[in-house]
Structure 1
């Protein structure tokens, strides 16, 4: 029988190799998509660039769009709120996370010099634009469910959905602002500075009713 420690090490190594393979495939795919356009690259070409088989690509990604925008991104807001600190509200947690990401110039917000090509590639692909819309809907829906469960809201209570909608709006507004400034070829540092001002304005606009909702005690 394999000792527990050896089994755990084997599991850890296997998971690490899976993550590395997944990242290699995604990186190879995005590089091809940016260079040639999303619709002009086949899964076979992605597999060849990543040095894996076509079946391996599909083992890690259910659809071509998942190589760029996995559906699990739709859990982002609920994940942030679920992990919020004691005394922090749902909206407060999202605002804090966004400020942290802006502060470290997180690539997930597009605050890098190479984001312009990636953003142009996404906008040129109708299926990726549709996937962005789907992810946004999922973000609000999953956050609504979480807020309703955590606050013990009665069935039919509209407040969790309204609060989730406001949080979804602020998150989408920040991403839209990044997109506009990327189109204008603005330096990422200037964009980051503008986003901090934008987040301050959003927080002031939301007011105490939203900012205090679902505060973790």
Structure 2
């Protein structure tokens, strides 16, 4: 039977994610079991896996948000705005808002340290990147202008953004101040979009 108060809705998912994140950041991803997360959250392990099919997704739970950002950047462009400009606008907006996907959000330093210490999390990050690349490729295929070059643009953007994030993560861990790193992060994002627009010399 479900535990008292156990539900399957968004509130339960959010609570499980919050509890799991706290435990992982305190003790390390590989040192915490799903059963411990379930016990702390007051739910069953079955309920945890209902919301998070993989243990890694308890911490890496922003894939849906990232997919939504990519879809919106392609589909919701204003007239006359090309995809590169729209992706740039969306990416810089995440930075300005210090969104969880930006790389410089509050709590980013312990998050990056936890990911860097776990081969399982690093592997899952790469899988998510591949999934997002496929999604962006599919979205670009909806536009006749990208019938040939969509896969290349998707690959370059996802790989480039991941490279910027990894460098930002390294600098955050080294320097310990997101505000200090944010300006460098913005400059490297601008370099990424300049390369997407004009190529690399």
How far 1:124 sits from its partner (Å)?
A: 1.4
User: Given the two structures, how large is their TM-score scaled by the length of structure 2?
Assistant: 0.83
Distance 2:103 2:118 in 1: 18
Deviations 1:89-145 (A, max 9, x none): 222111111111111222332324532211111111111111111111111111112
Q: 1:130 to 1:73 in 2, by over 3 A?
A: farther
SS at match of 2:98: coil
Larger-gyration structure (1/2): 1
Residue 91 of structure 1, aligned match among 84, 87, 112: 84
Structure 1 unaligned segments of length 5 or more: list them: 1-15, 210-217
Runs of 4+ in 1 over 6 A off after TM superposition: none
Q: Within 5 A, what are the aligned runs for 1:22-101?
A: 22-70=13-61, 72=64, 75=67, 76-101=69-94
Q: 1:81 to 1:174 in 2, by over 3 A?
A: farther
Q: Within 5 A, what are the aligned runs for 1:101-116?
A: 101-116=94-109
Distance 1:103 1:45 in 2: 36
CA RMSD after TM alignment: 2.4
Question: Across the two proteins, how many residue pairs are aligned to each other?
Answer: 191
Residue 137 of structure 2, aligned match among 144, 150, 153: 144
1:121 counterpart = 2:114: yes
User: Which deviates the most, 161-170 or 79-88?
Assistant: 79-88
How far 1:200 sits from its partner (Å)?
A: 2.4
